[in-house]
């Protein structure tokens, strides 16, 4: 007797664009690194990432943008030069667009 | 009988606090910032809130006075342009104005992210105006 076929997880769910659809029932998660800028003084870099996800419980794709340092330890505050502040602003705008693209949000 | 050896005590030169308190504030600073006294161990490293400053190491514990000028760009998230001026025994060291971002948007939604991006652009424009 052959083993019962387990229902595939995630198949009834709307996947986030870019998901390989082999995701588990925990949901799919697509990460897109938009870019990073260096902090003034510390040498740490701040990375801008766009995340998109969908789970069995939350089948409608959701998404968010995160900005965090590339090294361990959360930075509560950071220093940036005007040039890097503008670069960071441009990356954040890209990330916001990307989240909307990945989640099918209206622009 | 030999004469007693006289040792000469070197008294550190007093700092002229007026050099800092009378110095012009950072442009666009409301002028309400206060002078604060700090003591460093002699390594010349000064910590003032989020700011670090270096003065000439003295090798022994020493006092410096600092003043942080602030032009606030936003309260939530807290974004400002600041400049830390330091007075040590060598005189007044006027710092470089910098953009400081304290905290991030509460949520990472596209809208909140765009608002934060606009805030950074505004802070960059303020800093450029200050340093013109």
* pLDDT of res. A15: 63
Token look-up 């664009």 returns: A17
- Residues 56-85 on A with a CB inside 8 Å of B are 63-67, 76-83, 85
pLDDT in tens, A32-91: 677 666 665 556 677 788 887 777 666 677 788 887 766 554 456 778 889 888 988 998
**pLDDT confidence tier of residue A106, bands split at 50, 70 and 90:** very low
Q: Is the ipTM of this complex over 0.85?
A: no
Separation of alpha carbons A69 and A90, rounded Å: 17
In chain A, the residue whose alpha carbon lies closest to the alpha carbon of B100 is: A79
* pLDDT of res. B11: 52
User: Cα dist. B93→A87, B23, B50, B66 in Å?
Assistant: 30, 10, 18, 9
* pLDDT of res. B108: 85
pTM of model > 0.80: no
User: Cα dist. B15→A4, B18, B63, B68, B87 in Å?
Assistant: 85, 9, 9, 18, 8
Residues of chain B with pLDDT under 70: 1-14
Neighbours of A36 (CB within 10 A): 20
Q: Are A74 and A68 a contacting pair, CB within 8 Å?
A: yes
Separation of alpha carbons A51 and A29, rounded Å: 7
Rounded to the nearest angstrom, the minimum Cα separation between A99 and chain B is: 7
Provide the mean pLDDT of chain B.
87
Rounded to the nearest angstrom, the minimum Cα separation between B103 and chain A is: 6
The yes-or-no verdict on residue A102 having pLDDT over 50 is: yes
* pLDDT of res. A27: 65
Question: What is the DSSP pairing of strand B78-88 with strand B98-102?
Answer: antiparallel
**pLDDT confidence tier of residue A25, bands split at 50, 70 and 90:** low
Which residues on A lie below 8 Å from B50 (Cβ)?
77, 79
Q: Are A103 and A15 a contacting pair, CB within 8 Å?
A: no
* pLDDT of res. A3: 33
* pLDDT of res. A2: 36
Which residues on A lie below 8 Å from B125 (Cβ)?
82
């Amino acid at each position: 007797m052959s083993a019962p076929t387990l229902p595939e997880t995630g198949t009834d769910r709307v996947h986030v664009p870019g998901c390989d659809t082999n995701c588990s029932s925990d949901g799919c998660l697509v990460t897109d690194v938009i870019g990073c800028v260096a902090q003034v003084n510390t040498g740490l870099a701040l990375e801008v990432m766009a995340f998109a996800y969908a789970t069995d419980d939350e089948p409608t794709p959701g998404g968010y943008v995160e900005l965090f340092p590339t090294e361990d330890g959360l930075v509560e505050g950071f220093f940036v030069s005007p040039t890097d502040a503008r670069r960071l602003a441009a990356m954040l705008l890209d990330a916001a667009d990307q989240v909307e693209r990945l989640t099918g949000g209206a622009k | 009988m030999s004469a007693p050896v006289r040792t000469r005590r070197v008294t550190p030169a007093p700092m002229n606090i007026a050099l800092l308190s009378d110095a012009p504030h950072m442009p666009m600073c409301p002028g309400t910032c206060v002078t604060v006294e700090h003591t460093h161990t002699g390594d010349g490293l000064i910590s003032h809130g989020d700011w670090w400053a270096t003065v000439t190491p003295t090798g022994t514990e020493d006092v410096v006075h600092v003043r942080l000028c602030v032009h606030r760009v936003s309260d939530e998230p807290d974004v400002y342009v600041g400049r830390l001026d330091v007075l040590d025994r060598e005189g007044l060291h006027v710092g470089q104005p910098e953009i400081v971002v304290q905290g991030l948007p509460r949520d990472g939604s596209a809208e909140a992210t765009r608002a934060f991006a606009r805030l950074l652009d505004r802070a960059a424009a303020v800093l450029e105006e200050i340093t013109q």
